[in-house]
């Protein structure tokens, strides 16, 4: 029997993506359509015309299209739910799905939640109810990322000493992927501490959540590997100019760069390596770049495989929580003006709290910006 799949939060228009709506549900749905063991049978969206257009596109029967997700859960009893609503309600809806008693697996969009307490609670509840909870850090399934990891694991740059990233948009929205990839390269070893600073002077809201304008964060993992993360929402220099690379892996005997950038961007390969003693970088061929919706097909296929084999998926909540801890630790460090020891014990969202208290007063953006 195929897995019965439902989507919550269909979105409006996948052909017109922007910071307010990418209609990620359409990409999830395509992945389920491409999966022989999945049958997309239901959807819910609080905007009825969004749900109707989605149902039309994916041939979902009228009686399985809902405005309220709890009605969908009761009527359709899906085995798998893809959750593609804004981050502020990921935790509430995921926990309701978990507690419904009918859902076996939830694939939720990133970032996990808009508070660290919410992210922890989802993880705990999924584990307590034995529900597979995964997050869409699909970039792990890029061949360029896999090849970089294989080079690292084969000892091509010696022992890993440091990982760096430059993120557009902010460390919450885009940075959720960035930290997740750092942790992937360092085999999910937990971090010991983080020290970060941010600039937030112009409102930078994506999918309903605040993101800083610029950030710099240093952290150290329990195995001694260190991290340097940077973000710049304007994407025109700032802290990211210190890294100029999507991810850089620095080892005792060389360096690997994924998505290097700089003045001659167009000339640069997606992946390159410079071993100790090499005068030049060597380009490494990869099947694809760093961005493709196809990675979601691979991510969902892996989730389904793990559900069937009763294995912990790579995109599982524990790994996502490791990345989320570094996001909130960076903002917490800025709030405390000091180093933050991990595990992180806060429950809230320090950036949002600083905006609400007036410690940060980002200038609102106007409608037509």
Does 21 interact with ligand NAD (rule: CB under 6 A)? yes
Among 42, 78, 87, 313, binds ligand NAD (CB under 6 A): 87
Binder of ligand NAD out of 4, 5, 7, 11 (CB under 6 A): 11
188 burial (CB, 10 Å; 0-12 / 13-18 / 19+) is middle
Question: Does 91 interact with ligand NAD (rule: CB under 6 A)?
Answer: no
Q: How far is the CB of 167 from ligand NAD (least distance, A)?
A: 12
DSSP 26-49: HHHHHHHHT-TTEEEEEEE-SSHH
- Interface with ligand NAD includes 69 (CB under 6 A)? yes
Nearer to ligand NAD (CB atom), residue 29 or residue 273: 29
SS3 content of the chain, % helix, strand, coil (to 5): 35, 25, 40
Q: Which of residues 282-341 bind ligand NAD (CB under 6 A)?
A: none
Q: Does 89 bind ligand NAD (CB under 6 A)?
A: yes
Binding to ligand NAD in span 160-219, by CB under 6 A: 207
Query: DSSP secondary-structure letter at 216?
Result: E
Contact 157, 249 (CB under 8 A): yes
Residues touching ligand NAD, count (CB under 6 A):
25
- Minimum gap (Å) between residue 300 Cβ and ligand NAD: 12
| Shortest separation between residue 324's beta carbon and ligand NAD, angstroms | 13
Which of 5, 80, 84, 133 touches ligand NAD (CB under 6 A)?
A: 84
Stretch that binds ligand NAD, among 15-23, 119-127, 224-232, 280-288 (CB under 6 A): 15-23
Separation in Å, CA 192 to CA 32, 166, 351: 38, 21, 21
Please state at what angle helix 69-76 crosses helix 90-99, rounded to 10 degrees: 30
The two structure tokens encoding residue 319: 């790994």
Question: 344 near 192, Cβ under 8 Å?
Answer: no
Among 7, 23, 38, 216, binds ligand NAD (CB under 6 A): 23
DSSP state of 21: B
d(CA 159, CA 163): 12
- Judged by CB under 6 A, the residue of 47, 189, 234, 276 near ligand NAD is 47
Is-contact 4 80, C-beta < 8 A? Answer: yes
3-state secondary structure of 57: helix
Among 30, 64, 132, 136, the residue binding ligand NAD under the rule CB under 6 A is: 136
| Contact between 22 and ligand NAD per CB under 6 A | yes
Neighbours of 73 (CB within 10 A): 24
Give all strands of the β-sheet with 191-199 in edge-to-edge order: 282-283, 271-275, 254-260, 245-251, 160-168, 226-232, 214-221, 191-199, 340-341
Point out which span in 16-24, 192-200, 257-265, 316-324 binds ligand NAD (CB under 6 A).
16-24
Q: Is 86 in the site for ligand NAD (CB under 6 A)?
A: yes
Residue 55 or residue 157: which is nearer to ligand NAD going by CB? 55
- Cβ proximity to ligand NAD: between 136 and 186 the closer is 136
Which residue ranges make up the site for ligand NAD (CB under 6 A)? 8-12, 21-24, 44-47, 50, 69, 84-87, 89, 109-110, 136, 138, 207
């Amino acid at each position: 029997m195929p897995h019965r799949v439902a989507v919550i939060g269909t979105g409006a228009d996948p052909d017109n993506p922007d910071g307010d709506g990418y209609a990620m549900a359409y990409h999830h749905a395509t992945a389920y359509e491409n999966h022989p063991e999945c049958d997309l049978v239901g959807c819910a969206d609080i905007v009825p015309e969004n749900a109707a257009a989605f149902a039309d596109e994916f041939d979902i029967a009228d009686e399985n299209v809902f405005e309220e997700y709890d009605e969908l859960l009761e009527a359709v009893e899906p085995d798998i739910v893809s959750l593609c609503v804004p981050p502020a309600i990921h935790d509430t809806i995921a926990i309701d799905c978990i507690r419904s008693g009918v859902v076996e697996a939830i694939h939720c969009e990133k970032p996990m939640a808009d508070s660290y307490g919410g992210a922890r609670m989802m993880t705990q509840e999924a584990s307590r109810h034995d529900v597979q909870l995964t997050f869409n850090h699909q970039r792990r399934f890029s061949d360029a990322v896999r090849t970089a990891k294989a080079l690292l694991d084969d000892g091509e740059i010696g022992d890993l000493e440091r990982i760096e990233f430059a993120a557009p948009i902010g460390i919450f929205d885009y940075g959720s992927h960035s930290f997740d990839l750092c942790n992937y390269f360092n085999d999910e070893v937990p971090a010991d501490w983080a020290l970060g600073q941010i600039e937030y002077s112009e409102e930078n809201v994506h999918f309903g959540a605040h993101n800083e304008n610029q950030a710099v964060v240093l952290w150290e993992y329990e195995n001694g590997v260190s991290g340097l993360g940077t973000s710049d929402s304007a994407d025109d220099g700032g802290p990211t100019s210190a890294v100029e690379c999507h991810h850089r892996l620095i080892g005792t005997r060389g360096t690997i760069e994924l998505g290097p950038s700089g003045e001659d961007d167009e000339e640069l390969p997606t992946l390159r390596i410079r071993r100790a003693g090499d005068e030049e970088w060597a380009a490494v061929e990869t099947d694809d770049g760093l961005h493709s919706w196809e990675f979601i097909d691979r991510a969902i296929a892996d989730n389904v495989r793990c559900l069937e084999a009763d294995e912990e998926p790579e995109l599982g909540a524990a790994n996502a929580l490791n990345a989320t801890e570094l996001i909130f630790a960076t903002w917490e460090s800025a709030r405390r003006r000091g180093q933050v020891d991990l595990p992180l014990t806060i429950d809230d969202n320090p950036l949002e709290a600083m905006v609400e208290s007036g410690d940060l007063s980002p200038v609102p953006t106007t409608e037509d910006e």
